[in-house]
Amino acid sequence: MKIDVIDETIRKSDVFAVMEEAFKLALLKQGLTNEDAEISLTLACPEEIKELNKKFRKKNAATDVLSFPQYTREESVPEEGPYFLGDIVICEEIAREQAESYGHSYLREVLYLFVHGMGHLLGYDHMDQEEKIEMRAFEEAILGELKIRRE
């Protein structure tokens, strides 16, 4: 299991260690125990994430997180590795603003965004109410096991 990061300073933070645990739990929840799973994590500024949104989603706005899955829900992740699940891009500035707005810690917010991104990489979505309920259950299960609760 590997998380490639663009900015190495994140690897030295307390947040990264919890992200690694969240990654392991997300894989286990999907029955994927293969240590050869890999993702890419980028922390972006609002301008960078806005450009990605414009380029890939045709939306001219900054968002908190973007995910770029390697596999669709209809496809299955290979049983044998190594395999790359996809990319997660988190806007730290928006995460900090949301944490303050929602009244919880930056750690809780950035981990929620990371787990949300992992959900997308593993085939979850929130386009309709049923999918949204399923994805929220996945997110809350991971965050609950990590004891990261809404404050």
Integer Cα distance of 7 and 62 in angstroms: 19
> What CATH code would you report for 2-145?
3.40.390.30
- Write down the pTM of the prediction: 0.91
pLDDT per residue over 41-100, tens digit each?
A: 999 999 999 999 999 999 999 999 999 999 876 676 666 667 889 999 999 999 999 999
Integer Cα distance of 60 and 52 in angstroms: 9
**Domain boundaries defined on the chain:** 2-145
User: What residues are paired with 151 via a beta bridge?
Assistant: none
pLDDT per residue over 96-147, tens digit each?
A: 999 999 999 999 999 999 999 999 999 898 989 999 999 999 999 999 999 9
